[in-house]
Structure 1
């Protein structure tokens, strides 16, 4: 997949303030049928960093800017992160 990340103004995007987990990132990639390479290209985060982050469990680790870039790329592509709120954290496609 080929994404033009230069056309995305990350500062104008609303980034989810909920704590997103690695499992949610993997589920979001699955919904979009994205590989780790696709996410790296779309988010501007290096592929080795994406791979390293996805070997862990729990909230996205690393720098806040990295987590923000990953979440913003997925949200820009149409994914919505769902908070825990008693029903379990998850992801879905936006309408």
Structure 2
């Protein structure tokens, strides 16, 4: 599950605007804006759509008892 802060951070790492994320994921811009602002929760379909966009672009969500954040998986074929 993605937190609003993770969503903002992942977008920043990918250099995506909220509008671009909405278009790519099929989630409405208003929903993305509300989620990132902490004003609304995401339905499971919207959450899955955002997770799919991020995972497909190498974003890994970090969430355990000590850390919360995001990281970008580098292309394993790169030196």
TM range (shorter): 0.7 to 0.9
Q: What is the aligned length?
A: 74
Corresponding residue for residue 92 of structure 1: 71
TM-score with structure 2 setting the length: 0.83
Q: C-alpha separation between the residues in 1 aligned to 2:69 and 2:54?
A: 13
Moved over 6 A (4+): none
> Root-mean-square deviation (CA), in Å?
1.6
- 2:34 pairs, out of 52, 55, 77, with 52
Q: CA deviation at 1:62?
A: 2.5
Q: Is the 8 A contact 1:78 1:94 kept in 2?
A: yes
**More strand by percentage:** 2
Q: Say whether 1:38 aligns with 2:38.
A: no
- 1:83 pairs, out of 63, 73, 76, with 63
Could you tell me which runs of 5 or more consecutive residues in structure 1 were left unpaired when the two chains were aligned: 1-18
Could you tell me which runs of 5 or more consecutive residues in structure 2 were left unpaired when the two chains were aligned: 75-79
Q: Say whether 1:22 aligns with 2:4.
A: yes
Q: Is the 8 A contact 1:24 1:91 kept in 2?
A: yes
Q: C-alpha separation between the residues in 2 aligned to 1:77 and 1:53?
A: 20
